[in-house]
Amino acid sequence: MGSAKMTYIWMHDAYLKMVFHAYKYLNAPLTGICLGYKESKDDRIYIVDAVPLFHHQVLAPMLELAFMQVSRLAAQRQLSLVGFYVAEEIHCDALSTGEPEKKESSKNALPLWMCDVSAKMKQAFPQSFVFKADGKMMSHSLLSLPGHMFTSVSSDVSSSPAWKMHHSVILDDPDRIKQSIDHYFRHQRFSDLVDFERYLDRSDGLVLDYTNPKIFETFKKDV
C-alpha cells in the first residue's frame, strides 16, 4: 500500500523527543530519525521513537555514520526507519503544499543530501516520511503537530521520491502527551536530551547516550 492511504501516528516518546530536540536547540537546523513499524494488516504507521541526530548543518559522511548506527539500533529493536524530521534553516519545500496554482520558490528545493537520504529510506521502507518542524507553529501549541508531514506520492521505490503534504497524521493519547509536556517543560527537562552530534563531542570527557533511554524516568523524581 502506498503512503497516500496511510495514517501516521506519533506515539508519546517519539513526539516528545522531537519536541525536546527542537526546544533545546531553538532556530537550529535540526535533523533526527524516526523509528516505528507498520502492522501487516493495518493502514497505520506507528512512530514509536525518535533519535535526535544533529543541530548544525551536517556533511554527508557524518549523516551516513549516524544512519548506520541508528539502523543497527532499529534492527535490534525489530523496528524500521520510518522517516526523519528536519527543522528551521533546512528548507525541504520541494515538498509541495498541494496547491498547484502556487509556484514553488527557489528556496523550496530539497537539498541534495536530503534527496539521497529520503531515496535510501524509501527503498527500505516505502511509506517513509519527512516531517518538517515549524518553529512558529511550535510556539503556538505543542498539542497540534508543530509542522507538516510529507510522504512520497510514488510507489516506485527505484525512483527519487516526489513529496506531497500528508494530512492523515495524529497524536496517540493526547491527554498523556499534554500531561508530559506540562511537566517536562515546567522543569525544563528538554535540556537533558542528547543528540548524536553531542554524543560525538567528547571534549568534556563525558560519554553520553543519544538514544536517551532514561529521559522520561525523571517524572516521578520531579513530582
pLDDT tens sequence across 26-60: 878 889 999 999 987 788 999 999 999 999 988 87
3-class secondary structure for the chain?
CCHHHCEEEECHHHHHHHHHHHHHCCCCCCEEEEEEEECCCCCEEEEEEEEEEECCCCCHHHHHHHHHHHHHHHHHCCCEEEEEEEECCCCCCCCECCCCCCCCCHHHCCCHHHHHHHHHHHHHCCCCEEEEECHHHHHHCCCCCCEEEEEECCCCCCCCCCEEEECCEEECCHHHHHHHHHHHHHCCHHHHCCCHHHHHCCCCCCCCCCCCCCCCCCHHHHC
Q: What was the pLDDT predicted at 155?
A: 60
Q: What was the pLDDT predicted at 178?
A: 87
Cell numbers of 210, please?
543519544
Is residue 135 within 8 Å of residue 26, measured between CB atoms? yes
Q: What was the pLDDT predicted at 43?
A: 87
Is residue 209 within 8 Å of residue 183, measured between CB atoms? no
**Model confidence pLDDT, tens digit, residues 110-131:** 556 666 777 778 888 989 998 8
3-222 CATH fold: Cytidine Deaminase; domain 2 (3.40.140)
Is residue 164 within 8 Å of residue 99, measured between CB atoms? no
Which portions of the chain are predicted below pLDDT 70? 1-4, 88-115, 135-145, 153-162, 218-223
Q: What was the pLDDT predicted at 121?
A: 83
Domains of the chain by residue range? 3-222
Q: What was the pLDDT predicted at 117?
A: 74
Cβ atoms < 10 Å from Cβ of 178: 13
d(CA 187, CA 184): 5
Cell numbers of 16, please?
516528545
Cell numbers of 15, please?
513526539
Cell numbers of 7, please?
495514517
Cell numbers of 119, please?
531515496
